Amino acid sequence: MTAVWKKTTALTFETAPFAIRAERASDVAAREALLDASFGEGRHARTCQRLRDGRMPAEGLAFSAVHQGRVVGTVRLWHVSAGAIPALVLGPLAVEASCRSLGVGAALMNHALAAAKARGHGAVILRGDAGYYARFGFSAAKTGELALPGPFERERLLAVELRPGALDEAFGMIVATGDKLRRAAVRAGAKARKLLIQAA
Ligand SMILES: CC(C)(COP(=O)(O)OP(=O)(O)OC[C@H]1O[C@@H](n2cnc3c(N)ncnc32)[C@H](O)[C@@H]1OP(=O)(O)O)[C@@H](O)C(=O)NCCC(=O)NCCS
């Protein structure tokens, strides 16, 4: 699924729009460099990383923003159990510094949320600034009784329901439930194994 986005106020993007498409194995090096530049080397110690360690992203829910053949944005979603309720955790979301404030982040978010809804997922949770994520419907309204496996600021644990009521009664620890990398690699066979491990 590929979507092409234009923002009328962005002159550079008028002539060269960006596309949001499914992440490819060939995006991995650029994605990792973008995440290093956006979050620094400490990014692997962040609490939400505990929900991604050794796991595959949810099927069909890893996206790249591409501008003139270059990866300039990334977002992925991951299976979790939110106090026994199946949900997705979104992150990391990052856009290359030179391409920010042009709508790339919003396009990635809207595309990812629409794709998650189309696949029947009920809710998306993330740790981030309400000042940015409220525009996509995220709030702390349904996360007050949830916890992450590590330190986090209560006001930054946000969620949006894709199915009304999906997070009613959500209570307890958010834990990873996605396919483990090794299991996915074995299923994929030798040829795809290297790509899967690179893509994690
Ligand atoms: C957050 C991020 C993904 C937004 O990408 P983007 O392509 O610039 O997003 P958009 O163009 O859709 O929106 C930009 C707007 O959001 C605002 N914004 C960005 N981060 C924000 C934040 N943390 N809180 C509030 N507003 C924020 C910008 O100021 C900008 O406002 P403007 O339109 O009035 O200029 C990007 O700034 C980024 O990669 N930051 C570093 C990594 C990061 O912090 N990721 C999010 C983790 S919580």
Average pLDDT score over residue span 178-195: 68
Residue 41 confidence (pLDDT): 84
What is the C-alpha separation between 136 and 106, in angstroms, rounded?
A: 8
107 contacts 113 by C-beta, under 8 angstroms: no
CA of 33 to the centre of ligand 1 (A): 18
Question: Over pLDDT 90: what percentage of the chain?
Answer: 79
- How do residues 103-147 score in pLDDT, each as one tens digit? 999 999 999 999 999 999 999 999 999 999 999 999 999 999 999
Q: Could you tell me the maximum CA-CA distance found in the chain, to the nearest angstrom? A: 48
Q: Report CA(102)–ligand 1 centroid distance (Å).
A: 10
pLDDT at 100 over 50: yes
**So what's the pLDDT on residue 182?**
73
**Average pLDDT of the residues of the chain:** 89
Supply the residue whose CA is at minimum distance from atom 16 of ligand 1: 132
Question: Is residue 49 over pLDDT 60?
Answer: yes
Question: Parallel, antiparallel, or unpaired for β 123-127 and 94-95?
Answer: unpaired
What per-residue confidence (pLDDT) applies to 8?
43
Contact in structure between 148 and 91 (CB atoms under 8 Å): no
What is the structure's pLDDT at 36? Answer: 96
| Closest atom of ligand 1 to CA, residue 103 | 11
The yes-or-no verdict on residue 185 having pLDDT over 80 is no
| Cα(200)–Cα(190) distance, integer angstroms | 16
Is the beta carbon of 38 within 6 A of some atom in ligand 1?
A: yes
The amino acid that residue 195 corresponds to is: L
**Residue 129 in contact with ligand 1 by CB distance below 6 A:** yes
Phi, psi of 14 (to 5 degrees): -60, -45
Q: What is the pLDDT of residues 6-47, one digit of tens each?
A: 554 444 565 668 999 999 999 999 999 999 999 998 999 899
Give the sign of the dihedral formed by CA 85, CA 87, CA 92, CA 94. Answer: negative
Dig out the tokens for 157 from the structure.
């644990």
159 contacts 88 by C-beta, under 8 angstroms: no
Residue type for 27, please?
A: D
Average pLDDT over residues 183-188: 66
Q: Can you read off the two tokens belonging to residue 81?
A: 């159990």
Q: Which protein residue's CA is at the shortest distance from atom 28 of ligand 1?
A: 101
For the chain, the distance separating the N- and C-terminal CA atoms, rounded to the nearest angstrom, is 20
Q: CA-to-CA distance for 25 and 84, rounded, in angstroms?
A: 32
Query: What integer pLDDT is reported at residue 164 of this predicted model?
Result: 98
What token pair was written down for 181? 């990398």
Average pLDDT of 76-104?
97
CA of 188 to the centre of ligand 1 (A): 36
Distance from residue 194's CA to the centre of ligand 1 (Å): 33
Say which residue the tokens 């690179």 belong to.
Answer: 198
